Amino acid sequence: MFNISHPIPRTPIAIATALFAATVTPCFAQAQVPVEMRSEAMLLLRACSADYDRLCSNVTPGGGRILACLKSHADQLSAACAQMMPRAQTLRDRAITAGVMPK
């Protein structure tokens, strides 16, 4: 049996997965995510991982929930993450248009 009493550790890989899932991977099985979108998601990760840990670590990834959480804390974001928010929204919009993320 699995022991689920311990929380999942917040490693850089876990954070990357969560942020990437929030932006471009919910439908990865149906469509291939373009390299430039993955690169953009990694930039977002670098800029916002500490903010994610501090403000949104309890948010379930998917459907844009992490991006929405970060936006809802706009006044508390680090300068680097706040600067990335327009790019994050653009990335999400592009992923929807490309069919690699549901609307």
Residue numbers of the domain that contains 91: 12-24+32-98
Give domain status of residue 91, yes or no.
Answer: yes
Spell out the SS3 assignment of 12-74: HHHHHHHHHHHHCCCCCCCCCCCHHHHHHHHHHHHHHHHHHHHHHCCCCCCCCHHHHHHHHCH
Give domain status of residue 3, yes or no.
Answer: no
Full-prediction pTM beyond 0.95?
no
Mind listing the pLDDT tens digit of every residue in the chain (103 residues)? 444 444 444 545 555 555 555 554 444 444 577 788 888 888 888 999 999 999 999 999 888 889 899 999 999 999 999 999 999 888 888 888 887 776 6
Give domain status of residue 2, yes or no.
Answer: no
CB atoms within 10 A of CB 43: 14
- How many domains are contained in the chain? 1
Q: What is the pLDDT of residues 48-76, one digit of tens each?
A: 999 999 999 999 988 888 989 999 999 99
